[in-house]
A and B are shown apart, each in its own frame.
Chain A
Amino acid sequence: MKTLSRIYTVLVFAFLYAPIIVLIVFSFNLSSSTIVFDGFSLQWYKALIKDGNTLRALYNTIILAVSSSIIATILGTSAAVGIEKYKKSAFRSTIIGVTNVPMMNPEIVTGISMMLLFVFIGRALRIESVLGFGTLLIAHVTFNLPYVILTVLPKLRQTDKNLSEAALDLGCTPLASFFKVVLPSIMPAIITGLIMAFTLSLDDFIISYFTSGPGFQTLPIAIFSMTKKRIKPDMYALSALIFVSILVLLILYNSIQIKSEKKPDKE
Chain B
Amino acid sequence: MKKLFSVFLSAIISFVPFIFAFAKESDDIDSLKGTKLYVYNWGEYISDGEDDSLDVNKAFTEKYGIEVIYNTFDNNESMYSKLKSGGISYDVVIPSDYMIERMIKENMLEKINFNNIPNFKYIPEKYRKLAYDPTGEYSVPYTVSFVGLIYNTKLVDEAPDSWLALWDEEYTNNILMFNNPRDAFAIAQSILGMDYNNESAPAWITAAALLKEQKIVNPVYVNDEVFLKMEAGEAALAPYFVGDFLSMQENNPDLDFVYPKEGVNYFVDAACILKGAKNKRAAELYINFLNEPEVAKANAEYICYGSPNEAVYNDPDYEYYQDELLYPEEGAFKTQIYTNLSPEILALQSTLWDDVKNYIPSGDSNLSLFLGGDSSGTTDEGEKMTSETRKYGLYIGIFVLLCLAYIIFRFARKQYREKV
Contacts and interface: CB of A to CB of B under 8 A. Distances in A.
Complex: A in contact with B (CB within 8 Å): yes
A130 interface: yes
A123 B89 CA distance: 13
Nearest to B38: A214
B86 A128 contact: yes
A187 B223 CA distance: 49
A134 B89 CA distance: 15
Given A128-B89, A129-B88, A130-B87, A215 B69 contact: yes
A121 to B, nearest CB: 10
B240 to A, nearest CB: 13
Contact of A229 (B87, B90, B224): B224
Interface string A118-158: 11001100001111000000000000000000000000000
Interface in A203-223: 213-215, 217
B88 A131 contact: yes
Contacts of A131: 87-88
B44 interface: yes
Contact of B43 (A35, A123, A217, A229): A229
Contacts of A228: 43, 74, 223-225
A259 interface: no
Nearest to A121: B87
A118 B231 contact: no
B88 A230 contact: no
A231 interface: yes
B328 interface: no
A199 interface: no
A115 interface: yes
B365 interface: no
A35 B223 CA distance: 20
Nearest to A32: B251
A214 B228 contact: no
Contacts of A9: none
A225 interface: yes
B393 interface: no
A65 to B, nearest CB: 21
B193 interface: no
Contacts of B85: 115, 119
A33 to B, nearest CB: 8
A213 B83 CA distance: 11
Nearest to B248: A230
B87 A129 contact: yes
A86 to B, nearest CB: 33
Contact of B228 (A115, A213, A230): A230
Main secondary structure of the interface of A (DSSP, over half): loop
A214 B274 CA distance: 14
Contact of A231 (B38, B228, B276): B228
Interface in B192-244: 223-225, 227-228, 231-232
A229 B69 contact: no
A230 B227 contact: yes
A235 to B, nearest CB: 13
A153 B54 CA distance: 57
A123 B86 CA distance: 7
A119 B83 CA distance: 11
Nearest to A212: B88
Contacts of A123: 86
B39 to A, nearest CB: 9
A213 B87 contact: yes
A214 B87 contact: no
B88 A214 contact: yes
B276 A128 contact: yes
A83 to B, nearest CB: 32
B31 interface: no
Nearest to A227: B225
A225 B38 CA distance: 17
A119 B87 CA distance: 5
B86 A122 contact: yes
Contact of A225 (B72, B87, B89, B227): B72
B18 interface: no
Contacts of B43: 225, 228-229
Interface in B59-75: 69, 71-72, 74
Contacts of A213: 87-88
Given A214-B38, A214-B71, A225-B72, A122 B228 contact: no
Contacts of A35: 232
A244 B43 CA distance: 30
B40 interface: yes
A225 B333 CA distance: 35
B231 A230 contact: yes
A229 B247 CA distance: 13
B227 A229 contact: yes
Contacts of B44: 229-230
Contact of A115 (B36, B87, B232): B87
Kindly list the 5 A-B residue pairs having the minimum CB-CB distance in the complex, ordered from nearest: A129-B89, A131-B87, A229-B224, A213-B88, A228-B224
Interface of A: 33, 35, 115, 118-119, 122-123, 128-131, 213-215, 217, 225, 228-231
Given A215-B69, A228-B43, A229-B224, 5 more contacts: A33-B232, A115-B85, A128-B86, A215-B38, A228-B74
